[in-house]
């Protein structure tokens, strides 16, 4: 799947930014850099592993209470293959 600039992903000067990252964003990403004038292509595969810990929170909704899932933290591990 090609990554396209938009609400979820943005290409920045120093790389790809994934906004509102969640466990479903885990997986293999392939980064490509090309020097067109020299015909050189460098391909690097990275593994992104998104880990989240959730807790249930009781929130007040008008005169009722509702249990909602709340993210305590998100940890992102990036492994670059050689």
Q: What is the pTM of this model?
A: 0.57
Every domain of the chain and the residues it spans: 23-80
The pair of three-digit structure tokens given for residue 66, joined into one six-digit string: 């509702």
Whether the pLDDT of residue 2 is over 70: the answer is no
pLDDT digits (tens, 9 = 90+) for 13-52: 777 788 878 888 888 888 888 888 888 888 888 888 887 7
In this structure, are residues 78 and 46 in contact, taking their beta carbons and an 8 Å threshold?
A: yes
> DSSP E strands: which ranges in 1-82?
9-12, 15-18, 27-35, 40-61, 64-80
The values of phi and psi at residue 27, to 5°, are: 150, -170
Q: For strands 40-61 and 64-80, give the pairing.
A: antiparallel
Q: Which residues, at least 6 apart from 1, have a Cβ–Cβ distance to it below 8 Å?
A: none
């Amino acid at each position: 799947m090609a990554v396209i600039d938009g609400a979820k992903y943005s290409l920045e000067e120093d790389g790809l930014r994934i906004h509102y990252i969640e466990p479903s964003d885990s997986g293999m990403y392939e980064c490509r850099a090309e020097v067109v004038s020299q015909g050189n292509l460098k391909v690097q595969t990275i593994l992104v592993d998104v880990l989240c810990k959730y807790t249930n929170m009781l929130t007040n909704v008008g005169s009722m209470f509702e249990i909602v899932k709340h993210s305590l933290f998100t940890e992102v591990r990036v492994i670059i293959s050689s």
